[in-house]
Structure 1
Amino acid sequence: MSNDIAYPVFRTPDLALALSTARRLMEFGRCEYSKVSVYAEIRSIAEVRRVAKELPEGWFRGQADYLDFDGVPLEEQPALVAGVQGPGLPADPAAYEGRLPVECELYDQPVGSIEDAFTAAIGTNVGWINWEMLRWPDAPEVGFHAESKHAEVTLLFNTRTRELDESADDHTVLVHVRSAGVDGRQMREPYAHWLVEQVGLTVVGPGQQL
């Protein structure tokens, strides 16, 4: 078993530029099996409703203590606990009590199918687009073989951390490679530098792990 580490390679307050830069890096590793997923945390009822109108295919799920619903059939759970697509969101504001922030997600979609709509809908909410199942090429000049398992690109919206625990006024592009730590050093960090240099980017901060 192995884990990934993600290095920030670009940061900007410009949404369109952040998306185009992330796509440029993603295309460097894109293959026929590549997929894209999106996720956002939405902290007000008004924003949930707005995002649902702009992204009706998204799945929305509120906060819950799942022990309260242990043994309860899925169809009998509140819609915001079980998860519901945009058009099925409850109209009654009381249904959101104790459920904020609401998570909006859509996983394993074809590349190019959801990114523009999600970027247009994100607003000031924190979230991400993640392209996975990429393939980074061999880099013989720096001594690294091709990477598939942890070849990913993430675009963070309104935050600089993968945990989404700190808001920011800009957006950050991350490149992922396999984590290989020895004595506190990341032995594959030079590979991350090499990868992003191929598309005119540079690593701009320390790696992040979950």
Structure 2
Amino acid sequence: MSTARRLMEFGQWEHSAVCVYAELHSVAEVRRVAKELPEGWFRGREEYGEFDGVPLEDQPALVVGVKGPGVPVDPAACNGRLPVECELDDLPIGSIEDAFTAAIGPNRGWINWEMLRWPDAPEVGFYGESKHAEVTLLFNTPTRELDEPADDHTVLVHVRSVCVDGREMREPYAHWLAEQVGLTVIGPGQRW
């Protein structure tokens, strides 16, 4: 968390925000996280076309999506709905990060600080970044797709991707950003 926060604070400005997301793969985890994050929005999986023609009010709560207190008590409500997603979007920085970190447990998920503003670095040929300026802290996975479990966490610093002749031209900017807060990029770039 401290590594991610150092990067985020370097690019934070008045319009910056934070979002969190987790995939919950068991009924016990859905219930636990719903209690710990009552403002979270919980939504389960549905099969394509499963509720075509069914009025919204007649669809299961986990298909429509509910806040933590609305998560059904009956474990059968999760049948066919796992993994259940939990998310909170567009929150002020500092409002959810610690509670989410405490709640994530063994589940895969992320904290994403967005709408950051990376500064100009004309001495190395970079002229700021705001459109793609983000920091993501991945929990229990090394990828934004959350498709690979891991026993550790990964911090991603986001910059605009520019490839010329198969060579990534903006990756050095990510290295420069990390250096500004006393860090080093240790892994390969990822495309999102």
- Normalised by the length of structure 2, the TM-score is 0.97
SS at 2:19 equivalent: strand
Deviations 1:119-157 (A, max 9, x none): 000000000000000000001111010100000000000
Q: Which residue of 1 aligns with 2:145?
A: 163
SS at 2:127 equivalent: coil
SS at 2:45 equivalent: coil
Q: Which residue of 1 aligns with 2:188?
A: 206
Distance in 2, Cα, partners of 1:26 & 1:52? 27
Q: Which residue of 2 aligns with 1:192?
A: 174
Deviations 1:24-62 (A, max 9, x none): 110000000000000000000001111111111101011
For the pair 1:181 / 2:144, whether they are aligned, the reply is no
Structure 2 counterparts to residues 1-210 of structure 1, below 5 A: 19-210=1-192
The answer for unaligned runs of 5 or more in structure 1 is: 1-18
Amino acid at match of 1:177: V
Distance in 1, Cα, partners of 2:56 & 2:18? 27
Displacement of 1:205 in angstroms is 1.1
Distance in 1, Cα, partners of 2:48 & 2:83? 16
Displacement of 1:76 in angstroms is 2.1
The answer for unaligned runs of 5 or more in structure 2 is: none
Percent identity of equivalent pairs: 81
Amino acid at match of 1:92: D
Deviations 1:97-130 (A, max 9, x none): 1001111001111111000000000000000000
Distance in 2, Cα, partners of 1:37 & 1:163? 15
Provide the aligned length of Structure 1 versus Structure 2.
192
Distance in 2, Cα, partners of 1:150 & 1:174? 12
Displacement of 1:66 in angstroms is 4.1
- Normalised by the length of structure 1, the TM-score is 0.89
